[in-house]
Structure 1
Amino acid sequence: MSFLALLALLLSLRIAISDLYARRVPNAWLLAGACGAALGLLGAQLAGQPAAVSDHLLGAGAGLVALLPFYLVGWMGAGDVKYFAVLGLLLGLHALLPVWLGASALAGVHVLCVVGLPRLRAVLPLPLQHLQARAVQQWQQHPALVQMHHARQGRVGIPFAAYLAIATLAWVLWPAQGASS
């Protein structure tokens, strides 16, 4: 596994945890990932192992341009866009489409669950509806969930950066794809 792929794995783990827990994508981690990518690409050039620098630079630009319209219309956070650009820098242009498709599929499942579960509850027998309502009430009062909602500071939405991170982990760890990049 290359240095850049390993760096992408480590960054993705950190981003997934942060986005799932607090709906935040820390700029410091993105900057560290971008600097690590730049050092890794420079190191590969100096060591005589020419990495396709143009593929990585194009990946960064394409990652930024691809998701920027979603940020501009308010459908996505800036951290998601910046993270996708850093992924393009780390993994190259060729990795962006499979990562984006995987993340979009996960986001689609998320939406189906958010939309479908309330409708499913409505068709449950009344005793099960009451049982489910009590379970949700107890779950909402659980200290860990209360702490998580406090950490989110009112931020809501689909954790797309986390889904990008999960798709990145899968792509990098998939033996035929990411390990060789």
Structure 2
Amino acid sequence: MALGCLLWLLFVTVYDFRQRRVPNWLVLAGAAAALAALALGMQPFGIDWTQALLGAGVGFGFLLLFYAFGLMGAGDVKFAGALGLWVGLAAMGPIWIVASLLAGAHSALWHLLQRWPFSPRLISILAGPTLAANGGTAPRRARFIPYAAYLAMATAAWMVWGRQS
């Protein structure tokens, strides 16, 4: 089942980087697979129902605050909830920290390239399809950081390195 989770994370990463959104069907597929793993006793990370549901609730609830202030898209929030079902509450903290650092680096690089545009192609990659079509300028309340992708990448790193003790 860990391979299934990793495959789901890969799909989320690619989709969010390319479209700057995470579709509901992809979030629901990951949540359903996590619930099935729990129900069948095949949870790959050794968490129980309580830890999974707490991870989902806190993941969703915490990012919902950012959505309420217009700082994050709804797909990122729903993905965090589904992710919590896979990894549980204890892993969400380190995953959020790493994902936030990656998203911060993304934002800093994008702002730097806006000021000194020595690589228009990199600007369009960082900006995403909506901003690239708009000439690279950010419309009001643009969501150009694929936060779900960074959550997925941080989770994959946690799967490989963070769980080894």
Same fold? TM cut 0.5? yes
**If each structure's helix is expressed as a fraction of its own residues, which one has the higher value?**
1
- Pair 1:158 & 2:154 matched: no
1:76 to 72, 76, 82: 72
SS in 2 for 1:97: helix
- Pair 1:27 & 2:24 matched: yes
Superposition pairs of residues 22-171 of structure 1, within 5 angstroms:
22-44=19-41, 51-119=47-115, 121=116, 132=118, 136=120, 139=121, 149=129, 156-171=143-158
Label 1:84 to 1:35 Cα distance change in 2 as closer, same or farther (>3 A): same
Q: Which residue of 2 aligns with 1:10?
A: 7
SS in 2 for 1:92: helix
Answer yes or no: is the 8 Å Cα contact 1:55–1:92 preserved in 2: yes
Structure 2 counterpart of 1:12, which letter? L
TM normalised by structure 2 equals 0.80
Q: Highest relative contact order (Cα 8 Å, sep 6+), 1 or 2?
A: 1
Structure-1 separation of matches of 2:108 and 2:79: 24
The offset of 1:14, in angstroms, is: 0.3
SS in 2 for 1:158: coil
Answer yes or no: is the 8 Å Cα contact 1:8–1:91 preserved in 2: no
Structure-2 separation of matches of 1:9 and 1:172: 9
After superposition, the C-alpha distances for 1:16-66 in whole angstroms (9 at most, x for unaligned) are 100100112011111111111111101008xxxx85210001101010111
Answer yes or no: is the 8 Å Cα contact 1:64–1:85 preserved in 2: yes
- Identity of paired residues, percent? 42
SS in 1 for 2:40: helix
The offset of 1:118, in angstroms, is: 3.6
Moved over 6 A (4+): 152-155
Structure-2 separation of matches of 1:39 and 1:116: 44
SS in 1 for 2:72: coil
Q: How many residues align?
A: 152
